[in-house]
A and B are shown apart, each in its own frame.
Chain A
């Protein structure tokens, strides 16, 4: 009995490895098909254990399919953070709120004219890639850095909504001012993030030693840091500010004046459906352009009567900037701004001077005309 079982397991192992090996060949071949367009479609590598090859690389989700799926479902499925102050967290009533959350709500308002038509899927840092790859979420707005490999592997990134850089938080009484001072320190970091990799790069390039302590969930990272398990914690500066605001004694900690990397935080959509990607991009541009044009959630009705053709276009009073081609209503802009406000309003709601989470200088995230990097193509 038992020997048989052993034999079975061995067979299984071999099969699984073979299968994986088949998969490998498969991918290489189809890549060629995609790139060179030379190999005839349907040509299949020889591999007896492989199931029949798919006929040809098909368009995964034909343009428009995702929007149709979203409309059929009645909700936008949005992958989010649930425990990052300011960006994605829960209020005392258990409602999802935050900067990233409002971007999801903006898309829901654009599609359904209802900012509540969102299903929030809480994801850990390690889960967000697969969630995007598998197309489980319609949109991922979870404090995620745009990188080339993620663009290649995970999905399509839309519009940078928050320019950030990786920083380092230390205790005030430690007297640490530069990265070099941190030689030999223990550093807390979230696993599965770009910051984890940047941390390793930054210390290695300077010839410094460090001991990492890594967790999958953000709260464990800052919990461990605050309790003294680590000498420093590293992440995007905004996240550090958020975490510090949640500490028992925020004043005991400083975010060092070091920027270890560029971290453009960007909402992303699953690859394959261009229309859906364009739709999300347009909604993001609308938020930015609305701030530029001075349209706020308070003055939408008033602005409807504006003489500025750009304002009129954005609010759907006259003209079209392609929104109907994307499957949105003409006046979606007005609905979005009414529901969540413009870019600046969203920022200020959580991180402005009177922000309900904490206060963080806008810095790079001012509009381009105010010296920042926030810039959107014209709506026309």
Chain B
């Protein structure tokens, strides 16, 4: 790669005129194409800009920012969501120092997002702005703590485990603690719920996916059959049917006295759906491990379990990190389907906002474009980060 680009390097950097000539006006039909494209770009961007700045009415969005962020979460308890995010920011900062790579991009995204909130040109309470300032600060503090003796993977992992408990306690409340009253999961909404669904989905699907992938490659026919069936069935049907199953049919599969929360059920559906795809990703990684590795491990005297856990999985998982990030992005977008089972995630909040005021009924375009833009910012940033990661790791092409 490097060698060829060195050979092909052009003798002199082309000037602007040469560039235009080469890239836009090389032949007569290219000239025509450029012309048509220019006209197209001109009209489209003029229309879009005019609409965005003059025609569109953005009041449904600017006046419902809280709803978009956390949905029906009780207003006097929103600080808990903020604190939970701060906690996560801190650990991302810490992990950035410890593990680097993708973690760093997510940490940076959190910091930049917080800073953006701090300077948004809308009417926000001072608390929210303070939170925006605190967020990048905590990422920084986390990073600094990571440089001390606490910056070891085992401490970071412990921290994440603790923060998981902390976040759950903050979001759901703790029985008997008066300043953390219970918040029904039905009140979670907006971007908060979108992120929770995707995060829980991807994290919980990981171990299941690993097991399924191993099971599908196992030499035990029954296990293999079951895993293969599960993976293929789940991959063969649309996500909405899985969500539908979990929202409507799951209670039938369980004993009478077991009652699973609706949000939790959607999370379970998301998890199982993601697990099937995760398993296939991981299986790709497993298949790429040369069998020499396994034979060598056997030769050294490791047993089957040791070979899998110590030799095969670490290599395979490292190889599929980019695929997993890609899957997370897809899952993040798929959370919108929770609308169909009645959860108030970001998209459903958008619909509720439109319907909350008769004067906003005609403003579908504004609201849906805003939601689309929010999704775009997050997914584009994540996929850009994962591409960078792929390049630096060189995992994709070894």
Contacts and interface: CB of A to CB of B under 8 A. Distances in A.
A77 B236 CA distance: 35
Interface in A105-159: 119-124, 127, 130-131, 133-136
Interface string A55-91: 0000011000100010000000100000100000010
Given A12-B233, A61-B256, A226-B361, A122 B355 contact: no
19 contacts: A5-B232, A8-B228, A8-B232, A9-B232, A9-B233, A12-B229, A60-B256, A61-B256, A90-B72, A94-B67, A94-B74, A121-B262, A133-B252, A134-B252, A223-B355, A246-B355, A247-B358, A247-B361, A248-B358
Contacts of A226: 361
Contact of A135 (B187, B232, B256, B355): B256
B228 A122 contact: no
Interface in B206-265: 225, 228-229, 232-233, 236, 247-249, 251-252, 256-257, 259, 262
Contacts of B256: 60-61, 135
Given A8-B225, A12-B229, A248-B359, A119 B186 contact: yes
Interface string B69-88: 00110110000000000000
A119 B184 contact: yes
A219 interface: yes
Interface string B181-218: 00010110000000000000000000000000000000
B48 to A, nearest CB: 23
Contacts of B359: 248
Contacts of B232: 5, 8-9, 12
Decide if the interface of chain B is mainly helix, strand, loop or mixed. helix
Contacts of A27: none
Given A127-B342, A223-B355, A248-B359, A134 B225 contact: no
A121 B186 contact: yes
B247 A223 contact: no
The number of chain B residues touching the other chain, given as a range, is: 35 or more
A230 B71 CA distance: 31
Given A90-B72, A134-B251, A123 B342 contact: yes
Interface string A234-257: 000000000000111000000000
A93 interface: yes
A351 to B, nearest CB: 18
B247 A127 contact: yes
Contacts of A121: 186, 262
Given A8-B232, A127-B342, A94 B72 contact: yes
B351 interface: yes
Contacts of B259: 77, 136
Interface in B352-398: 352, 354-356, 358-359, 361-362
Nearest to B233: A12
Contacts of A61: 256
Contacts of B356: 90
Contacts of A122: 186, 342, 344
B242 to A, nearest CB: 15
Given A5-B232, A135-B251, A248-B361, A219 B75 contact: no
Contacts of A217: 351
A87 B232 CA distance: 44
B361 A223 contact: yes
A83 B352 contact: yes
Contacts of B67: 94
A85 to B, nearest CB: 10
B342 A93 contact: no
B344 to A, nearest CB: 8
A133 B252 CA distance: 9
Contacts of A133: 252
A246 B236 CA distance: 42
Contacts of A83: 352, 355
Contacts of B225: 8
Given A12-B229, A119-B186, A120-B186, A219 B351 contact: yes
Contacts of A135: 251, 256
Contacts of A127: 247-248, 341-342
A247 B361 CA distance: 8
B94 to A, nearest CB: 35
A9 B248 contact: no
A182 B187 CA distance: 42
Contacts of B187: 94
A122 to B, nearest CB: 5
Q: Which of A9, A130, A134 is the most central at the interface, judged by chain B CB atoms within 10 Å of its CB?
A: A134
Contacts of A223: 354-355, 361
Nearest to B260: A136
A227 B252 CA distance: 40
Given A8-B232, A12-B233, A94-B72, A124 B252 contact: no
